[in-house]
Amino acid sequence: MDMLLIGLCVAVCGVAFVALAFVAAMHSESWNSPAQPELPLVKAVAPARFFSDRAPVPRAVPPLQVPIEVLLLQIENHVRLEQAAAESFLAFPSQALLHSKTTSPFVN
């Protein structure tokens, strides 16, 4: 009889423990899920290019359109630089001075 009672107690305790554990697990799940922080999206990993012959193709960047006043100033600056280069050639005519480079953004 004693053994039966002990076995019954152990069984009841076991069931109670399992039930408590189940409830606790359900509670923590339902409590945590709304506050789950959104994980940042992981960028797609570029394929490895080790020992690859192909250079990456740079993405075409559309040129920024400068205001027309700035463009006209750039043209004026270009003309002034070209005139200075031409004057240098006329002072000391040579093949090198005839085609000397300037810093004008129009030719660089």
Partner 1 sequence: MTHELLNGLSSVEAEQVLKLGTKLIVPCGVSLFRLGDPADRLFLTERGRIKLTLPMRVRGREEDVFVEERSPGQTVGWSALIPPYRFTLAATAALFEAEVIALPREALLQYFAANPAAGYKIALNLAVVIGHRLQLFQTMWLREMQRTVEVRSA
The residue (of 28 and 94) whose beta carbon lies closer to partner 1 is 94
Question: Cα separation of 17 and 9, whole Å?
Answer: 12
Minimum CB separation of residue 66 from partner 1 in Å reads 10
Minimum CB separation of residue 105 from partner 1 in Å reads 13
Q: For partner 1, what does the binding mask look like between residues 66 and 95, x meaning CB under 8 A?
A: --x--xx--xx--xx-xx-xxx-xx-----
Q: Is 21 exposed, middle or buried (0-12, 13-18, 19+ CB in 10 A)?
A: exposed
Token pair, residue 98, equals 């005839």
Token pair, residue 19, equals 């039930």
**Non-local CB neighbours of 88 within 8 Å, separated by 6+ positions:** 97, 100
Minimum CB separation of residue 103 from partner 1 in Å reads 14
| 105 near partner 1, judged by CB under 8 A | no
Question: Which residues make up the interface to partner 1 (CB under 8 A)?
Answer: 68, 71-72, 75-76, 79-80, 82-83, 85-87, 89-90, 98-99, 107
